[in-house]
Chain A
Amino acid sequence: MPFGAVIPALLLALPAAAALLLYVYRRGGSGREVRVATVLLLKKISRPVFAPRKIRLPPRFFLELLIACLIGAAAAGLYLKGEGGRKIILLDNSLSMAAQLAVGSQSESRLESAKTEAEKLLSDLPLGAEVSVFVTSPGLSNASQGFVSKEEARRIISGTRAVYAADNIRSSIDRLLASGEGVPLTVLTDQRIRVEAGTPLFSAPTLMTTPLSNVAISSLRLVEGSRNDSLSVVAGFDAYVPDSERSSTAAIPLTVTLQELSFSADLKGVPLAREIKAKKGYITPGETLEIRFDEIPRSGQAFRIQLSLGIASSLNTLRLDDEVYFLPRETKGAPLFVSDLSSKQLGVSGLKGGAPRVITPDELSASSVNSATPFVVLHRFVPQKLPAVPLLAIVPPADSAVFPSRSEATPSQITRWLEGHPINRYLQFGALKLKEQSVLSVPGWAQEIVSSTHGPLIYAGELEGRRVVVSGLELLPFEGKKSPLLSILTLNIFKWLSGEGNEGVFSSPYGRVHLPDGTTAVRMSSGAPASLLAPTIAMPEEPSILIAEEATAASIVDAVNFFDPTESDTANAPPIDVAIAARETLEAASRSLVEPLAVFALVLLLMESLLWLFKNYRRGVNVH
């Protein structure tokens, strides 16, 4: 309904007023009237008698009925709803919503609690209300594809699952408030939302915000083993406990199990898991515990590490971050430089970690790059097909369709750089003067990192699942101390491309996975299909080994894991402040009709009084 009422109960007075008016008019004038000498004797009749009335409703009745309705509606505080009985529900389906919340004697996930709250909300909505359902993960999306009926919204919400992704709740709320046009928004999330002032446009039930404890695998890195045919893996664990319980929580015992996964010859079905080792430890809330497994055979197909808390399992409310996968590939490869210059000419032979591989553009092929390659540097060269690993393109050719640019030979000065970006760490560009550069055209997936008077010089972003930096500045040869500014910039770029805190070959489930050509199907290690799209697929929604099946040969593609401390930390999420100007949004959402109703009623009342006075004046009746 497009209308609402501040005191809806008073609207019940309208039919009562209409009935009373009808009764008065029936009682007061209709029915057969007979003048008698006296009603003295009739009044003495013992039983009350009521003559049936025939209804005679003069126009005045309808006028008075209208006035009564107007007064009743004004008293009830009738208002025009901004969006006519619509509601937006933003459902947080990020990883943290899978944490188990104790409800009475049972436990249910935060997402299930959110669904219960959503059901209550939908039940309270009037008949015919329309609901738009948004989910936060992975990325804000309109699950209902617009406004749908309550029943459809109910179905969509019940089918929503928690996914391995962050909630982006703040940006989601901001976007919905900005575009909602006054439609009331309810946010179902485990984040605590603080609103400046109460408003009917925004609500955030707090059932799911109870801090919960959790222990998660927070990192995983492979280390070279003592022997060539073995490697070591170090898993990091973090325990998240509500601040109020930290002092009273002792070290939490945990057991970490290393398993080897063996696939069948056709790589179909669920792999066999064989426990290799198990280690026990104690983790203190607020501290990271690392557990190392050595002598892991490289011959294994895939491995899994699982966490369990045993008797302390009640402190582990989120189980989805309790396992990780990895493949026994090379732990760290060398970066690959593609340039017509030699390693010496490029000045990179002395880089920390050893001399990188340098090949010419002609030598570049699909086999030049594997998943162990931390990044590729394309020096004044851009291939038609970009390598599927992080890459740095230095001064791309002007005719490159992938990284458009134009050469500028005139001197320029750097005017702007993105402070806070890891690439610009420790750098102040103010004094840097440039003789020549390539001015870049920044694509939508990237951020402008450094700009000059001529335009963008460096941009960075994530393209098809891997980090990419494009520099219109010549960063090579690497001159080290000779050119400290550019040197620091170059090293920052290398470090960023290598993945800060994301070492090795372990991916986060964002973006897409690049598969070898000809791939027709991709499965996860559990056997469930992830996607049938080729050549790239979206990341699966849980940690697993992703297996690609090619037309000619099957190949294991990658291990997919999820590390997000903000989602695993179910205990101490900071509140999110949402600013809604209550008065403005209320005005945008609804328009009070009290004043126009009251004025209209008064005008009609005045008109009726004047008409009555005039009528009596014409009759010559003394109205005193």
Chain B
Amino acid sequence: MLPSSFTPQFLNQLELFKIRARRSFLGSRQGGHLSPKRGHGIEFSDYRQYELGDNPRHIDWGVYGRTDRLYVKRFQEEQDLRVLLVVDGSASMGQDSTDPKWERARDIALALGYIALMEQDTVSAAILGSRTSPVLSGPRAVHQLGALFDQVVPGGEGNFARDIQRAAAQIKFPGVAVVISDFLCPFEEVERGFNALRSRNLDITAVQILSDEDLRPFERGGDSAIAIDRETSERVDVHFTPELRAEYQQILEDHCEQLRDFCAGARISYALALTSESLGDWLQNILPRVGILR
């Protein structure tokens, strides 16, 4: 089941998009993306000499007239794109929060999945720390995707690197990978996780989701509290003064900047999604700019 926010109007908007890969990947069947495979297609690629058995229709007679040699045209095949959606399902995604990042992550994953499936691409989803979907294709498979997310309750102490490595191990064909998480974990784990995906020759996009709670903690209810980590249950006393709040903001900014710098260096696209923003606007404005949608 798709969330209630996936209205017919929203879906119509999504159908206008297409998943874009920065490079071409071999597909398993005909699709809408240029693949490195040469064969039949629309997009002219190059010539080769005629060989016995080639379709005479593909002989370029203009070249023959000029060269007295038979050449056939080669076209770039359009094949489907493998889209892997990796969604952080750990407790930090805040299922029990008033502003759950999990919902946003799910919506982004479903939106991208819908876009891909409508374009005859194949989609698989891996929810870190939870389950992995089979390879899905066809527009109707979006409901299976929705059902997968419905069954998942984020929780547990996630290990980003380990979970990503597990998901990466199941990839058989390279394609596009979209990793959706808050990335609020030790940077070494993020690095190891992404490196595992990079080793699979994937076109990776990182979507970082942050909520108001992450940006401005304890704004509601006072500056003092005992912060309890959702994943580890570790307790930290917090009493924010204006100076300490500014310091926290700087720490968060530094963490995100470190992520962005890594992504830039690793040729990973990066997008920031705030739960306070409209999903439709974000999809329309941010993702195309990042380059994953067109």
Contacts and interface: CB of A to CB of B under 8 A. Distances in A.
A41 B234 contact: no
A413 B59 CA distance: 171
A35 interface: yes
B290 to A, nearest CB: 23
Interface stretch (A26-34, A327-335, A525-533): A26-34
A263 B92 CA distance: 114
Given A45-B244, A45-B247, A39 B236 contact: yes
Given A42-B236, A42-B238, A51 B230 contact: no
B255 interface: yes
Given A40-B186, A41-B184, A41-B251, A34 B227 contact: yes
Contacts of A38: 92, 184-185, 229-231
B172 to A, nearest CB: 33
Contacts of B222: 32
A37 B226 CA distance: 13
Interface string A424-435: 000000000000
Contacts of B240: 49
B131 interface: no
A34 B240 CA distance: 13
Interface in A2-51: 31-51
Given A31-B224, A36-B228, A39-B227, A49 B185 contact: no
A52 B239 contact: yes
A38 B255 CA distance: 13
B255 A41 contact: yes
B184 A34 contact: no
Contacts of A33: 225-226, 228
Contact of B252 (A41, A48, A51): A41
A46 B250 CA distance: 12
Given A37-B213, A41-B252, A45-B251, A51 B238 contact: yes
B242 to A, nearest CB: 13
Given A42-B248, A51-B226, A37 B238 contact: no
B182 interface: yes
B225 to A, nearest CB: 4
B185 A36 contact: no
B175 interface: no
Contact of A34 (B93, B226, B248): B226
B65 interface: no
B52 to A, nearest CB: 65
A46 B247 contact: yes
Contact of B224 (A43, A45, A47, A51): A51
A168 B217 CA distance: 87
A36 B213 contact: yes
A307 B228 CA distance: 95
Interface string B96-126: 1100010000000000000000000000000
Interface residues of B, number: 39
A50 B214 CA distance: 20
Interface string B59-80: 0000000000000000000000
A608 B235 CA distance: 26
A40 B186 CA distance: 8
A44 B222 CA distance: 21
A43 B230 CA distance: 15
B186 A32 contact: no
A45 B230 CA distance: 19
A484 to B, nearest CB: 108
A50 B232 CA distance: 20
Contact of A49 (B213, B234, B244, B255): B244
B272 to A, nearest CB: 15
Nearest to B217: A36
A41 B224 contact: no
A49 B226 contact: no
A305 B182 CA distance: 115
B53 interface: no
Contacts of B247: 45-46
A360 to B, nearest CB: 114
Contacts of B94: 37
Nearest to B231: A38
A35 B239 contact: no
A37 B91 CA distance: 7
B218 interface: yes
Given A38-B92, A39-B229, A42-B238, A52 B224 contact: yes
A48 B247 CA distance: 12
A38 B227 CA distance: 9
B265 interface: no
A47 B244 contact: yes
B228 A34 contact: yes
Contacts of B225: 31-34, 51
A285 B234 CA distance: 89
A32 B224 contact: yes
Contacts of B213: 36-37
B230 A49 contact: no
Contact of A40 (B184, B218, B224, B228): B184
Interface in A30-88: 31-52
B191 to A, nearest CB: 15
A48 to B, nearest CB: 8
A44 B214 CA distance: 14
Interface in A119-166: none
A5 to B, nearest CB: 38
B153 to A, nearest CB: 15
Nearest to B221: A32
B248 A41 contact: yes
B281 interface: no
Given A31-B226, A51-B239, A45 B185 contact: no
B237 interface: yes
B244 A37 contact: no
- Among B94, B101, B214, B229, the most chain A Cβ lie within 10 Å of the Cβ of B229
A49 B184 contact: no
A37 B221 contact: no
Nearest to A41: B251
Interface string B179-199: 000101110000000000000
Contacts of A48: 237
A37 B96 CA distance: 10
A47 B224 CA distance: 14
Contacts of B92: 37-38
A43 B232 CA distance: 13
A46 B240 CA distance: 12
Contacts of A35: 96-97, 227-230
A202 B205 CA distance: 91
Nearest to A44: B251
B208 to A, nearest CB: 12
B227 A40 contact: no
Contacts of A34: 217-218, 221, 225-228, 238
Nearest to A46: B247
A110 B252 CA distance: 84
Contacts of A36: 213-214, 217, 227-230
B230 to A, nearest CB: 5
Nearest to A48: B237
A42 B217 contact: yes
- Among B230, B238, B240, the most chain A Cβ lie within 10 Å of the Cβ of B238
Interface string B242-260: 0010011001100100000
B104 to A, nearest CB: 13
Nearest to A50: B237
Contacts of B235: 39
Interface of B: 92-94, 96-97, 101, 182, 184-186, 211, 213-214, 217-218, 221-222, 224-232, 234-240, 244, 247-248, 251-252, 255
Interface of A: 31-52
Closest 6 CB pairs of A and B: A37-B92, A51-B224, A49-B239, A34-B225, A38-B184, A39-B236
